[in-house]
Amino acid sequence: MTHAYKTFDTTSSIKSQKQIESEVFLNVTRRLKTIQHTKLYNYSSFVEAISKNRKLWTLLCTDILHPQNQLSTQIKTSIFYLNEFVQSYSGRILSEGITVEPLIDINLSIIRGLNESKVSSRVA
């Protein structure tokens, strides 16, 4: 994953790419958690949070297509399938009013994976 996340990041360039990715996912996920109970009286913020999450997943998929991306084919495929779910489910959230919890769970799994790989690379 490369430069795509810089559109979300406003922090120092001292951080590693995985730290930036983790923080971006964390910020978007926090926003999803915050807005899930406020959609009735702040619908525009609710839609904005869902849209940011969709954009993040679109950027993630764009990023893994970059020739320098070294993720395995299996991980790339899994990310594409998750993106399809995120995009489809997000549409259902907006049209049917279903819960955002699955999106939060998926994002938290990505954050855990990014943080585990960071710890693993320090141990290796």
For the chain, the structural domain boundaries read: 17-123
Buried b (16+ CB within 10 A) or exposed e, 85-94: ebeebbeebb
pTM: 0.81
Query: Could you list the pLDDT tens digit for every one of the 124 residues in the chain?
Result: 555 555 555 555 577 888 899 999 999 999 999 998 888 889 999 999 999 999 999 999 999 999 899 999 999 999 999 999 999 999 999 999 999 999 999 999 999 999 986 544 443 3
Query: Tokens 């049917």 sit at which residue?
Result: 96
CA contacts within 13 A on the Cβ side of 53: 37
Q: What is the crossing angle of helices 101-123 and 73-96, to 10°?
A: 160
Listed residue (44, 7, 14, 43) closest to 28, CA to CA? 7
Secondary structure letter of residue 7 according to DSSP: G
Given a contact cutoff of 8 angstroms between Cβ atoms, the answer to whether 106 and 86 are in contact is yes
